[in-house]
């Protein structure tokens, strides 16, 4: 059998060991985005558990008759960690044996495992989206709610996205590295002297993995400049920032607003696609230089607040701060963004 050179075997061994990190990272993600949830609701699938905002998703899905998601509905969690350990061990054995045929067979088994995982995920999604409770509060004849296998799908007023998470991308990068090693070795001609991976070749192989695993630059918010910045929705110059907010896109563009009502209108009009929103923030009413992520913000709604565009709602960094301020206004209400959004867009 033709042997792999030392550097190729070393790369396979390192790649196999890198796969251990997948035990500590989510493998797959499902995101749900809607105007009332501009930051999205997420569920992460690991090798042995599920995490994320599962309870909120279950609460929403209950109304349309979908099953409650819980770890017990995934029998795969009981054996997946062991199957993955076998794949890691096989990779190390391929590195030790150092033959092209073993590497090719190993890659074939990896592809079989990947296809089996996708088929299993599809079957779960089909059952989850089609096997609905006939007594559900909301029923739409002929409509199912199967989440996408990979990519995007519209489910009622939600945009659903399904794609690999950090652990999944690591597996993809490592498998790509293994294919690179195999292709490099098979390109050698038997009539030529054996080529060796030079330092530049190693750098190229490492760069391929690094590029696939590297995260892009994180978009950032900007301070609202009173008297200079204009509201992206009503186009008025922002004269009072304490009722304002910002939407930061995935490409780093920042939209600024002078009122929560303008933020709600901007989202309702889909001025930016919800999938392109990186972050939605609101000015802390008690500290106007601070921006609070919509996931953490609590709002006080009161006609006595008198915001610029009559949204009459202010954001706070904590529920305690919101409740304390609410007591200063008769008839005020403490709420979250999902509820406030529905009030503002009526």
Ranking 34-43, 58-67, 204-213 by mean pLDDT, the lowest is: 204-213
Indicate if 181 and 281 belong to the same structural domain.
no
Indicate if 102 and 205 belong to the same structural domain.
yes
Kindly state the tokens that stand for 241: 């920032």
On average, the pLDDT of the chain sits at: 86
pLDDT computed for residue 25 by the predictor: 94
How many Å apart are CA 343 and CA 264, to the nearest integer? 10
| SS3 (DSSP) at 262 | helix
How many Å apart are CA 329 and CA 327, to the nearest integer? 5
Residues in the chain: 346
How many Å apart are CA 107 and CA 1, to the nearest integer? 17
Kindly state the tokens that stand for 139: 């029923």
Domain housing 160: 6-213
| SS3 (DSSP) at 256 | strand
Mean per-residue pLDDT for 136-142?
A: 74
One DSSP character per residue, 114-141 reads HHHHHHHHHHHHHHHHHS--TT-SS--T
Kindly state the tokens that stand for 45: 């699938």
Mean per-residue pLDDT for 268-291?
A: 89
Task: Check if the beta carbon of residue 155 is closer than 8 Å to that of residue 57.
Answer: no
pLDDT-above-90 percentage for the chain: 53
Mean per-residue pLDDT for 143-161?
A: 84
Indicate if 180 and 310 belong to the same structural domain.
no
pLDDT computed for residue 204 by the predictor: 60
pLDDT computed for residue 194 by the predictor: 44
| SS3 (DSSP) at 284 | strand
181 pLDDT higher than 70:
yes
How many Å apart are CA 222 and CA 111, to the nearest integer? 45
Indicate if 182 and 297 belong to the same structural domain.
no
How many Å apart are CA 328 and CA 297, to the nearest integer? 19
Indicate if 198 and 263 belong to the same structural domain.
no
Confidence of residue 195 (pLDDT cuts 50, 70, 90): very low
229 in a structural domain: no
Confidence of residue 153 (pLDDT cuts 50, 70, 90): confident
What CATH number does residue 179 fall under? 1.20.140
Mean per-residue pLDDT for 134-148?
A: 78
Indicate if 159 and 270 belong to the same structural domain.
no
Instruction: Tell which wins on pLDDT, 124 or 189.
Output: 124
Confidence of residue 134 (pLDDT cuts 50, 70, 90): confident
Indicate if 148 and 17 belong to the same structural domain.
yes
What is the helix (H) or strand (E) element at residue 315, kind and residue range?
Answer: strand 313-316
What are the pLDDT digits (tens) for 198-229?
555 555 655 555 555 554 457 889 999 999 99
14 pLDDT higher than 60:
yes
How many Å apart are CA 88 and CA 70, to the nearest integer? 28
219 in a structural domain: no
Indicate if 63 and 186 belong to the same structural domain.
yes
pLDDT computed for residue 254 by the predictor: 93
- The phi-psi region of residue 296 (left if phi > 0; otherwise alpha if psi is between -120 and 50; otherwise beta) is alpha
The tally of domains found in the chain comes to 2
| SS3 (DSSP) at 246 | strand
pLDDT computed for residue 199 by the predictor: 53
């Amino acid at each position: 059998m033709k042997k792999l050179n030392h550097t190729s075997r070393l790369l396979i061994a390192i790649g196999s060991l890198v796969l251990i990190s997948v035990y500590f990272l989510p493998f797959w993600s499902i995101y749900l985005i809607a105007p009332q949830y501009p930051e999205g609701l997420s569920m992460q699938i690991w090798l042995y558990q599920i995490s994320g905002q599962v309870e909120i998703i279950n609460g929403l899905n209950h109304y349309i008759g979908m099953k409650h998601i819980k770890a017990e509905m995934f029998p795969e969690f009981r054996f997946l960690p062991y199957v993955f350990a076998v794949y890691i061990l096989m990779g190390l054995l391929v590195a030790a044996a150092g033959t092209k045929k073993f590497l090719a067979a190993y890659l074939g088994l990896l592809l079989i495992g990947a296809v089996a995982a996708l088929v299993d995920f599809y079957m779960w999604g089909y059952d989850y989206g089609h096997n609905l409770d006939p007594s559900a509060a909301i029923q739409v004849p002929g409509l199912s709610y199967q989440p996408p296998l990979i990519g995007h799908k519209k489910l009622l007023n939600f945009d659903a996205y399904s794609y690999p998470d950090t652990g999944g991308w690591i597996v993809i990068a490592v498998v790509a590295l293994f294919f690179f090693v195999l292709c490099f070795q098979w390109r050698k001609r038997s009539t030529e002297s054996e080529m060796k991976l030079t330092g530049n070749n190693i750098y190229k192989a490492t760069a391929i993995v690094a590029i696939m695993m590297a995260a892009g630059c994180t978009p950032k918010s900007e301070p609202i400049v009173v008297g200079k910045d204009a509201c992206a929705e009503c186009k008025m110059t922002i004269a009072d920032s304490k009722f304002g907010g910002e939407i930061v896109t995935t490409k780093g563009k920042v939209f600024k607003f002078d009122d929560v009502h303008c933020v709600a209108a901007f989202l309702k009009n889909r001025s930016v696609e919800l999938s392109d929103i990186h972050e939605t923030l609101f000015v802390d009413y008690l500290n106007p230089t601070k921006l609070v992520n919509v996931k953490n913000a609590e709002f006080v709604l009161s006609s006595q607040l008198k915001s610029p565009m009559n949204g009459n709602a202010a954001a706070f960094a904590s529920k305690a701060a919101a409740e304390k301020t609410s007591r200063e206004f008769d008839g005020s209400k403490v709420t979250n963004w999902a509820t406030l959004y529905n009030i503002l867009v009526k």
